[in-house]
A and B are shown apart, each in its own frame.
Chain A
Amino acid sequence: DIVMTQTPLSSPVTLGQPASISCRSSQSLVHSDGNTYLTWLQQRPGQPPRLLIYKISDRFSGVPDRFSGSGAGTHFTLKISRVEAEDVGVYYCMQGTQFPYTFGQGTKLEIK
């Protein structure tokens, strides 16, 4: 199985400042079809997960443009350009390249 490792596990951020979360996979996430199926999800307190970013950097419908994804191969990053209060929650990376799909441990974003 592909192991997904996120850092940091907790990220205190000042409102209006940027935030960055790293995700590494134990093997390349490049699929045989040439795509890289790396997803970022947000889970606000008490809510189900919400899709933010798919295929490394494609923003899902309705997701603010302050969220961006980047990376390649085994190393990926989620960036929030200016953190807002509604961004508080846990962020997960997930690989959809190979079954079983696997998630990172989650990164808790909190306001300082």
Chain B
Amino acid sequence: EVQLLESGGGLVQPGGSLRLSCAASGFTFSNSAMTWVRQAPGKGLEWVSALSGSGGSTYYADSVKGRFTISRDNSNNTLYLQMNSLRAEDTAVYYCAKGYYGSGTYDYWGLGTLVTVSS
């Protein structure tokens, strides 16, 4: 059974940093592209960042480029999102999701972790 468990969310002041983790199990993690998608309170989904299975290719939304860094540890089946220079508009539930090979989409999603940026 595929499982994705996000952690690391919390309350942080504007300008601060946070690192999210996503622990994966039930599939061959190193073969799967992964992504982070966020959802501000009461709002729609926003794609944030993606990473190839090897970690060699990374992609970012313009809204986070230069501030967020996606990475992975294939030996520990964990995906990360390092978030720096956080802003109030980064407040959201952050979901990690597993790439569905050859389909341009994501087939399994975690439950999400809430990040609140506020003073």
Does B104 lie within 8 Å of A37, measured CB to CB? yes
Task: Give the interface size bracket for A toward B.
Answer: 20 to 34
Q: What residue of chain A has the Cβ atom nearest to residue B95's Cβ?
A: A48
The answer to whether A103 and B46 touch (CB under 8 A), given A48-B110, A50-B109, is yes
Does B59 lie within 8 Å of A96, measured CB to CB? no
> Interface SS of chain B: helix, strand, loop or mixed?
strand
Does B110 lie within 8 Å of A35, measured CB to CB? no
CA distance A3 to B45 in the complex (A): 13
Does A100 lie within 8 Å of B62, measured CB to CB? yes
Residues of A within 8 A of B (CB): 1, 31, 35, 37, 39, 41, 43, 48-51, 54-55, 58, 60, 90, 92, 94-97, 99-106
> Interface SS of chain A: helix, strand, loop or mixed?
loop
B27 within 8 Å of A by Cβ?
A: no
B61 within 8 Å of A by Cβ?
A: yes
CA distance A36 to B62 in the complex (A): 23
Q: What is the CB-to-nearest-CB distance from A52 to chain B, in angstroms, rounded to a whole number?
A: 10
